[in-house]
Structure 1
Amino acid sequence: MAELPEVEAAKRLVNCHCLGATIVKAIVDNDTKVIDGVTPAVLQETLTGKKIVSALREGKHIWLQLDSRPWPSYQFDTSSAFIVKGAKGSQYRSPKVSDEEEAFPTTHSKVLLQLDNGVEVAFTDKLRFGRVRLLDNPSIAPPISELGFDAYLELPNAEQFTEALKTKKGSVKALLLDQSFLSGIGNWVGDEVLFQAKIHPEQSVNSLTEEQVAKLHTAIREVLDKAVSVDGDKEQYPRSWLCHHLGDKKLGMIDGNQIETISFSGRTSVFVPNIQKYTGPELKGAKTSQAIDEDAVTDPDSDGENVEEVTEGSAAEKGASGVKTGVTETPKRGRGRPPKNKGDSSAKSHATASPAAAPGAKKRGRPPKLKTPSRASDGEEGGKDSEPAKRRGRPPKAKTDASKESVSKSSEEAPASGGKGGKPAAGEADLASPLTPKRRGRPPKAKPEAAEEVEVAKKAKVEEAGATPKRRGRPPKVKSEAEGEDDSVEAQTQFAEAAATTPTPKKRGRPPKAKSSS
């Protein structure tokens, strides 16, 4: 990633080849993502014919001071760079940009300026994370006006730096990457500064000692001075620097110490645990590669040691099942959210639990419902007649008083319409039994007394005449109440006899087969 040393080298490159020259032609790429706040045509027209007075830098931003306003501003990011045709520029190169892609003119050029002295300079950005703006005064306009002090040009002295840290919170690595506090420092420079100062990347700013703050201030000055002095050439950095191990697929060793990575706040940092010791409260969300591989389990309140919680009772005491009841070992944490600490109520219930209940751990979820004791188990009389256990689901509907009266009437009339000797039939006896379970659904409608007598008379006459029973089909029409009052039992009997002698109506369709004389 282009950071302060690389951006400072790009500014020096422009000042070396472009000062005092006039822009003869400006070619702006039609990329509205990189060209921000202005159309490519307007930017191209505005830059043509202007004279370059100087190039200025603030953090990771460079703007060209022209002989008249507005001025172009360039914000550098991962793959941003200035390339001058025929000139050797910064030795920094993004790992995603090859040598062929840096050949001039590059296919990723966003703004190409052709000067009257024959020089051609282009701003390139393959990944399109950089921005080009046209501002009247970039130094007092956002986003440059929102930057903190420049880490190379405006770094305060040790006393001022210490006072500035007292109002900050969070990790020290996150503070170094905060452009509103310290502009120009990126990921690799931040890791290098913390390695030189021997400070852990997730060390809390509030927990830094005065000695650590002094080392941090010195490391920022020394790392940036050395990187800028060699124009961001990585090969000229001291071999003891951590940055030489960045970008490797497998992190190796430095001075016999293992290099590790840690991720927090969405960023990945490289550090050496044996050199950069961690002190202070742990930040949430941090996870080292060593902790992931080994499943390191520590309690946040025990300084990294496993905790063994001892309750009332001796460790040698055992229950009936042979399980220790006096000592409770805290289970090790796996990946993910740690288990919740049990309160006093759970501890008391664990201590007073019976030995028989110790071997089986309760399943997670809703506890089973307690069964109510039956009458037979309590030793009461009539245990066999106890009510059966109710089934789960909707309870049966309570019958109304009218249905109860109909059931009682049917039970009183059962001897008259039952089998021999006046005894009720088997089916009727079962229905009348109190032990028969009630049917689910709507109870049968109670028939009126007159209709029941008519049906009994009809069945008797049909059996005596041996006539063919009527087919199932449409039920007979119900007579009105006036006719029902005038009819007597004799009239109903005559009606049944006439119905028995009346021939059965023919079915629709094929005629019935003729019966033989035999």
Structure 2
Amino acid sequence: MPELPEVENYKVYIDSTALHQRIIALDCRDSRLLKQSRSDFEAHLIHQEFKATQRIGKYLFVETTGDKILVIHFGMTGRPNYYKSEEDRPKYGHIQLTFENGFHFAFENKRKFGWWDLTGSIAEFKAEHKLSDDARALKLEDFKTSLQGRKTDIKKILMDQSVAAGLGNWMADEILYQAKMHPTKKVEDLTSEAIERVFDAMKTVIEVAIENDAHYGDFPEHFLMHFRKEGATCFHTGAEIEKIKVGGRTTYFSPQWQEL
């Protein structure tokens, strides 16, 4: 599933291809991918331009020259695609915009878990969906405040979008590995120093992932992603990686490195 790093790279891609071009047509092969009616999308997008993008967590907001903002959620397999010829429309490009310059913008969505929506305000959408500030922009004090009074596992907290918007399963595992933190450590038992260690690891993992275009093979050799499977060998201890369930999600960790 596209997480914060992938969506950040999609933002950069759209910024470099699809901005400031007049939209003249919209085609959607499956209306279930639109959170509002097709006629609403046509009314608010056709004859308008994309003028800027903003990402909060896994959501991408595309500001337009009209009075609505396009909201894109990429689901499991979503991605943007910009191309010139209609013949190049990707097989799973279920939503396509056509620009006045003859180019097209498609939303590829093979498994159809992604979707488009319209909102009048990013702040309003953020509040309605209980999103924190984006994890990349999150400040330490806000992170600490969001943990106050919590009595659950640290991994569950990291994946809570009201705490650190944009983090998903693999990122939470990686952050905790880099912080030497057991995934079932209770938040209420964390010292201020331990919280700062998790916060610093979160920032590091985010930046490494973005810098490497979320290509796991290019991550530093001590990153868990290189051996994130049951029975693999921990880089630091040589012990076996274990697999458990935390909050219903498959979780990988090194029991000797991440002691409880």
The normalised TM-score by structure 2 is 0.90
Query: What secondary structure, in the 3-state scheme, does the structure 1 residue paired with 2:42 have?
Result: helix
Query: What secondary structure, in the 3-state scheme, does the structure 1 residue paired with 2:25 have?
Result: strand
Q: Which amino acid aligns with 1:156?
A: K
For 2:37, which of 23, 36, 39 is the aligned residue?
A: 39
Are 1:222 and 2:204 matched, yes or no? yes
8 Å CA contact 2:175, 2:202 repeated in 1: yes
- Ranked by relative contact order (alpha carbons within 8 Å, sequence separation 6 or more), the top structure is 2
8 Å CA contact 1:19, 1:54 repeated in 2: yes
- Cα offset for 1:133? 0.9
State how far apart, in whole Å, the 1-side matches of 2:27 and 2:146 are.
44
Q: Which amino acid aligns with 1:169?
A: K
State how far apart, in whole Å, the 1-side matches of 2:226 and 2:26 are.
38
8 Å CA contact 1:61, 1:144 repeated in 2: no
Q: Identify the residue that residue 10 of structure 2 maps to in structure 1.
A: 10
Query: What secondary structure, in the 3-state scheme, does the structure 2 residue paired with 1:254 have?
Result: coil
8 Å CA contact 1:27, 1:44 repeated in 2: no
Q: Which runs of 5+ in 2 are unaligned?
A: none
Q: Identify the residue that residue 59 of structure 1 maps to in structure 2.
A: 57
8 Å CA contact 1:59, 1:151 repeated in 2: yes
State how far apart, in whole Å, the 1-side matches of 2:50 and 2:225 are.
35
The aligned runs of 1:284-299 (5 Å cut-off) are: none
State how far apart, in whole Å, the 1-side matches of 2:231 and 2:94 are.
36
State how far apart, in whole Å, the 2-side matches of 1:198 and 1:117 are.
52
Q: Identify the residue that residue 27 of structure 1 maps to in structure 2.
A: 27
Q: Identify the residue that residue 128 of structure 1 maps to in structure 2.
A: 112
Relative to 1, partners in 2 of residues 1:141 and 1:163: Cα closer, same or farther, differing over 3 Å? closer
The C-alpha deviation readout for 1:101-153, integer Å capped at 9, x for no partner, is: xx942232232112233432211222222221122224313676520121002
State how far apart, in whole Å, the 2-side matches of 1:30 and 1:56 are.
26
Large movers: runs of 4+ above 3 Å: 142-145, 159-164
- Cα offset for 1:63? 1.8
The C-alpha deviation readout for 1:219-273, integer Å capped at 9, x for no partner, is: 0111111112233232321121111234x6x642132221111113211111111
Q: Which amino acid aligns with 2:193?
A: E
Query: What secondary structure, in the 3-state scheme, does the structure 2 residue paired with 1:179 have?
Result: coil
Q: Identify the residue that residue 253 of structure 1 maps to in structure 2.
A: 233
State how far apart, in whole Å, the 1-side matches of 2:183 and 2:93 are.
36
The aligned runs of 1:238-317 (5 Å cut-off) are: 238-246=220-228, 251-255=231-235, 256-278=238-260
Q: Which amino acid aligns with 2:5?
A: P
Which is strand-richer, 1 or 2?
2
Q: Identify the residue that residue 78 of structure 1 maps to in structure 2.
A: 76
Q: Which runs of 5+ in 1 are unaligned?
A: 87-102, 279-518
For 2:47, which of 46, 49, 56 is the aligned residue?
A: 49
The C-alpha deviation readout for 1:300-355, integer Å capped at 9, x for no partner, is: xxxxxxxxxxxxxxxxxxxxxxxxxxxxxxxxxxxxxxxxxxxxxxxxxxxxxxxx
Relative to 1, partners in 2 of residues 1:51 and 1:160: Cα closer, same or farther, differing over 3 Å? closer
8 Å CA contact 2:24, 2:46 repeated in 1: yes
State the identity as a percent.
27
Once superposed, what is the RMSD of the aligned Cα atoms? 2.1
